[in-house]
Amino acid sequence: MSGGPAVVIIGAAREPTTSLAADLRRLEYRPKLIAWPASSLRVAGARPIAAIVDFRTLGVDAGQACRAARQERGLRDSPVIALVAEEEAARLDLALGFDDLILAPYRLSELAARLRLLQWRAEQRSAPGVIRAGPVTINQATYEVAVGGVPIELTLKEYQLLLYLMRNPGRVFTRSELLDRVWEEDYFGGTRTVDVHIRRLRAKMEAAGELLETVRGVGYRLVIPSEQEA
Amino acid sequence: MAMRQEQVEYLMSKAKEQDVKFVRFWFTDILGFLKSFAITVEELELSLLEGQGFDGSSIQGFARIDESDMVAMPDPNTFAVLPWRPKEGGAVARMFCDILEPDGTPHVGDPRYVLKRTLQRAADMGFTYYVGPELEYFYFRESSSRPQTLDSGGYFDLTPLDIASDLRRETVLTLEEMGIGVEYSHHEVAPSQHEIDLRYTDALTMADNAMTYRLVVKEIALKHGCYATFMPKPLYGENGNGMHTHQSLFQGDRNAFFDSGAEDHLSETARRFIAGLLRHAREMTLVTNQWVNSYKRLVPGYEAPIYMSWARRNRSDLIRVPTYKPGKENATRIEYRAPDPACNPYLAFAVMLAAGLEGVENGYECPPPVERNVYEMTPEERAELGIGELPGDLWEAIEVAESSELLRRTLGDHVFEKFIANKKIEWDNYRAQVTEYELDRYLPIL
């Protein structure tokens, strides 16, 4: 058994999902195949770097599997990857809640490259220390947030929201995605709450508030500063 | 609610960074009085994880027979330093709490839980409920029985050299410092009457905010040697204090009250919600207007509603629907104008939401809007249009409430029964009084 980073596969326990597991092992990952429908998506041990939902063997159940992966606490910070047959891609419902997709048949080198990127991001996240975006820094050890070296005071939710966006720079999130990932499950506010928090964050960050970009009709993203200058 | 370790660590580090020495745990009794006890910062970490036990037997509406042990479980999202407390020797912070039984189940007497339960019902129907209340209040020189106003200003007046403007400004800044968004503030219609409008948010956060708001207004006034009151009608012959509540339902990013296809841009959901509020208005008045004095405000001539009608422009109606502005579909909302700011905001939001949802769920038919002034109609005209009246006094409100299945279901048996019992005592105390009015009027002639 290899000891590499864990990757969850949600699919049916048959071909071609089983070959995907074999491919991952070949790339020195530790695949954990969960046969759908499953009562629990809980995975023991270290946090998986991704959850791959195999649309090829799940068919119409794939959407449900994506949602379940999204809600599973242990997979909270693991991106959900849809693995979709090339000819199905055009019909794919993009609102199912996955973060990225891989078209099948995939090339092993592509799978390797994508997983390497995810692993790098995961390491960035778990690295104790400072995350930066332009003038904004978050010290994850001391929970200190500063703009241009000057500390700013954030409420717990403002902090968690900014941290989440800064851990995923450049990525566009819908309001409901942010609500799912930053707020508690028993929270009764809706997506407008996200707007309220973004507004307060922008006010506190002053000029650096521009980094929190509204993507019209979609949601928000943290602009990667170099791309802002371009 | 299991707290995530990250949240605990974040709050502990904030408490340390801001030199917090005491943390006040806040919650609310059934009448809407803020209750508080303080723990030292050394106890905070454990309290965040396990809650803090206390004896709840003396809290109005909480205790059942032979049960008094309760647990206050702080909500990590409500941590805020109290700006008006001195910082020397350690700052003071507050957190709102859910009240739990020792076994961890929610306590049925906790108003926050009553609201959460109703919000869950809305969530099950796919809705999020947003509210924006406008709490009016008066500044007086002191809390004596003869209130003296600070100014003689009127609506939107900019009064020069007016201490009240400074008080209001400081109040707004303090609220903002505590993370409570303020839309705008202005002088109200009556002398020394003011209003600070809170920026809309979800109903649970808003109920917490309303509790904080009432305290902040009073604290800032006290600091400057005067007294602020949310009493519904402190001055005979002047406008009373209202808490007009703007409300809307959202489905995800979409305002469920807006329909671009409808002539007036109001969706079927909005109409049914209005119908629900109108049909159940009388039953829930006991909660939105809970004091003997509340009914002194609900009289003709002072912009307070009495008749149960709705309209777009007219401001004399129980429900007003602000006119739609192009491109502002998210601002489509309903303004319910009966509540006063001396209510329990958790229970008031819960019953308004429940009444509206009742209309949505059962497809109540919405009566047509009334664009005429209902006060100028004859009783016959109103009867013909099916326009009823809100209860005229606390007793009438108790009687309608007592037979309301909706109210019992929304508040839960425990709060419903405690609340009604409490209000009956209040009414009995009141009706036995011989008032100044009676002495002035009857003593010389009878």
Cα–Cα distance, B193 to A6 (Å, whole number):
64
Cα–Cα distance, B241 to B227 (Å, whole number):
15
- Which residues does chain A have within 8 Å of residue B79's beta carbon, measured at their own beta carbons? 155-156
C-beta separation of B245 from B339 below 8 A? yes
Known catalytic membership, residue B195 = yes
Which strand ranges, in their side-by-side order, compose the sheet holding A219-222? A172-174, A219-222, A212-215
Model ipTM value: 0.75
Cα–Cα distance, B247 to A89 (Å, whole number):
42
Mean of the per-residue pLDDT values of chain A: 85
Note if the bond before A37 is cis, omega within 30 degrees.
yes
Q: Of all residues in chain B, what percent carry a pLDDT higher than 70? A: 94
C-beta separation of B346 from B363 below 8 A? no
Query: Are β-strands B201-202 and B128-140 bridged in parallel, bridged antiparallel, or unpaired?
Result: antiparallel
Strand partners, A11: A35
- Per-residue pLDDT, averaged over A71-99, amounts to 84
Amino acid A1: pLDDT: 46
CA distances from A196 to B112, B200, B202, B259 (A): 22, 9, 10, 24
Amino acid B332: pLDDT: 92
From A157's Cα to the closest Cα of chain B, the distance in A is 6
Selection from B159, B216, B148, B213 nearest residue B186 by Cα: B159
CATH of region B5-102: 3.10.20.70
Amino acid A43: pLDDT: 77
Strand partners, A152: A145
- Could you tell me the two tokens for A124? 């960035």
Inter-chain residue contact B128 with A159, CB threshold 8 Å:
no
Inter-chain residue contact A188 with B120, CB threshold 8 Å:
yes
Burial class (CB in 10 A: 0-12, 13-18, 19+), A192: buried
Banded pLDDT at B221 (limits 50, 70, 90)? very high
The residue type of A94 is: L
Residue of B nearest to A139 (CA): B10
Helix axes B345-361, B405-431, angle to 10 degrees: 140
Amino acid A67: pLDDT: 84
| pLDDT tens readout for residues B148-173 | 777 666 666 655 546 778 888 999 99
| pLDDT tens readout for residues B10-29 | 999 989 888 999 999 999 99
If one compares B114 and A90, the residue with the highest pLDDT of the two is B114
Owner of token pair 């006119």: B323
Domain ranges of chain B: 5-102, 116-437
Helix (H) or strand (E) holding B201: strand B201-202
Inter-chain residue contact B205 with A193, CB threshold 8 Å:
yes
Cα–Cα distance, A164 to A183 (Å, whole number):
11
Mean of the per-residue pLDDT values of chain B: 90
Inter-chain residue contact B250 with A189, CB threshold 8 Å:
no
Cα–Cα distance, B204 to B127 (Å, whole number):
14
**What are the φ/ψ torsions at residue B27 (nearest 5 degrees)?**
-155, 180
Chosen for mutation from B18, B96, B202, B349 (greatest number of chain A CBs closer than 10 Å) is: B202
A189 touches chain B (CB under 8 A): yes
C-beta separation of B113 from B107 below 8 A? yes
A196 touches chain B (CB under 8 A): yes
With an 8 Å Cβ cutoff, the interface of chain B facing chain A consists of 1, 6-7, 9-11, 13-14, 17-18, 76-77, 79-80, 116, 119-120, 122-123, 128-130, 179, 181, 199-205, 250, 252-253, 330
Q: What share of chain A is helix, strand, coil (3-state, %, to 5)?
A: 45, 25, 30
A159 touches chain B (CB under 8 A): yes
Amino acid A2: pLDDT: 46
Cα–Cα distance, A48 to A38 (Å, whole number):
17
- Could you tell me the two tokens for A1? 């058994």
The yes-or-no verdict on residue A229 having pLDDT over 50 is: no
Amino acid B154: pLDDT: 62
The yes-or-no verdict on residue B66 having pLDDT over 60 is: no
| pLDDT tens readout for residues A28-49 | 889 998 988 887 777 777 778 8
CA distances from B321 to A47, B178, B179, B317 (A): 50, 31, 29, 10
From B32's Cα to the closest Cα of chain A, the distance in A is 21
Amino acid A230: pLDDT: 37
- Per-residue pLDDT, averaged over B81-109, amounts to 91
Cα–Cα distance, A14 to A30 (Å, whole number):
18
From B341's Cα to the closest Cα of chain A, the distance in A is 23
Banded pLDDT at B421 (limits 50, 70, 90)? very high
Domain B116-437 has CATH 3.30.590.10: yes
Known catalytic membership, residue B136 = yes
- Could you tell me the two tokens for A102? 């891989």
- Could you tell me the two tokens for B222? 């006290």
Cα B250 to chain centroid, rounded = 21
Amino acid A5: pLDDT: 83
Helix axes B203-223, B345-361, angle to 10 degrees: 150
Cα–Cα distance, B183 to B274 (Å, whole number):
25
Amino acid B165: pLDDT: 81
Cα–Cα distance, A174 to A70 (Å, whole number):
14
Amino acid B2: pLDDT: 44
The yes-or-no verdict on residue B255 having pLDDT over 50 is: yes
The residue type of A180 is: D
* Domains B5-102 and B116-437 are alike in CATH topology: no
Amino acid A127: pLDDT: 57
Inter-chain residue contact B80 with A155, CB threshold 8 Å:
yes
Nearest to B7 among A156, A189, A196 (CB): A156
Give the domains, in start order, of chain A with CATH numbers: 6-126 (3.40.50.2300), 130-229 (1.10.10.10)
Inter-chain residue contact B199 with A186, CB threshold 8 Å:
no
